[in-house]
Amino acid sequence: MMSPQKFLIVFVICITVGLLWVPSCHAIQIISPANEAIVHQGETVTITVTGESLENAWVWPSGNLPQVVATGIGEFTLSIPPNVQSGRYALTAIGKNLDDTSSISIIVERSDTPISIELSPSALIQFNQIGDLMPVQVFGIFSDGGKVLITKSPFIKYSSANTAVATVNSEGFVTAVGPGGTTVTASYASLSSSISVVVPLGNTTPVYKITTTQTGTISKDTGGNYIINVTITNNSNVKLALVKLTSAILNMTNAALLPDAFTVFDPNTSQTLSLTFPRTAGISGGIASLQLKGTYEGLPKNGQSGDKGTLSFSFRVRLP
């Protein structure tokens, strides 16, 4: 309990401050719900306001939330629509004087958590030029089949795998920063979903140079088949959208299986692949000819398809 001496001190402070700014001791204030309180879609929220002249007070919600309903002096209710977008909303109380205001934020979420999340667009963001901006929408998929927009939920976290290519802010807006490719990921608790992002070369003049070298020693598997590791290096001055082997031949024998294409291949980086050839491709201890052929594709430029070309490499290797 406050002592008489402390009460007198507080009273004098209020009177003194009131000479300079009246609302400091009688300003309107939202005391319920608490700031940053989590409320659920479909719920009815009670809003309690304190202050002076509450007969004229009102509360305004932001966004597409409906108007509040007055239930008494300083008491209001707000019905949260069942399908309203998840996210942060403001509640602003206005007193007798229009400059007498108080605001808090509430966080609207479903009462259950999604079982998965989906992005829109779902496959690819392909910008036309550096500096372009595009929003990503995030939908929560729930066990009852409901699909709710949760893009602005404070529990959604966005990230870019390469911020030198594209950045993404806390509201899901992706910005093209530099030429290349990357992925943008949205995460909600243990759930995540990603989308590929491609930024064109702009005014950069591409110079394509792809080199291939045989890596390490050739080995044999348990069936006597030859395993040859090959490293492909992008020595171009730009990123490549795709590098793919179309054939790999040891002497006159094709590789058992060609690897998948490399996509979004950064300059001055390497990718290593493993090729398996039947043991009939050569004699142990002998010299064999290894021929590799493939294709490459540059990143799109000014909205057009990227430059395309072919690759051809030859080696002489000694078989184990």
Asked if residues 236 and 265 have their Cβ atoms less than 8 Å apart, the reply is no
Q: What residue segments make up the domains of the chain, in order of their start?
A: 24-109, 116-199, 210-318
Categorize the per-residue pLDDT at 8 as very low, low, confident or very high, splitting at 50, 70 and 90. very low
pLDDT of residue 300: 75
Query: Which sign, positive or negative, has the C-alpha torsion 95, 101, 102, 107?
Result: positive
Domain 116-199 has CATH 2.60.40.1080: yes
Structure tokens at 294: 């493939």
DSSP strand pairing (191-199 vs 124-126) = parallel
Kindly report, residue by residue over 64-112, the tens digit of the pLDDT: 899 999 999 999 999 999 888 889 999 999 987 777 888 999 999 988 9
CA distance 203 to 191: 38
Distance CA 119, CA 117 (A): 7
- Global model pTM greater than 0.85: no
44 vs 262 pLDDT, higher one? 44
205 contacts 222 by C-beta, under 8 angstroms: no
CB 40 within 8 A of CB 80: yes
24-109, superfamily in CATH? Immunoglobulins (2.60.40.10)
Reported as type and span, the H/E element at residue 148 is strand 147-149
Tell me which fold the domain 210-318 belongs to.
Answer: Immunoglobulin-like (2.60.40)
- Average pLDDT value for the chain: 86
Cα separation, 265 vs 198, in Å, equals: 12
8 A C-beta contact, residue 113 and residue 189 = yes
More confident residue, 39 or 14: 39
Q: What is the pLDDT of residues 224-256, one digit of tens each?
A: 999 999 999 988 878 888 899 999 999 999 999
Question: Tens digit of pLDDT for each residue in 121-170?
Answer: 987 898 888 889 999 999 999 998 888 889 988 899 999 998 988 999 98
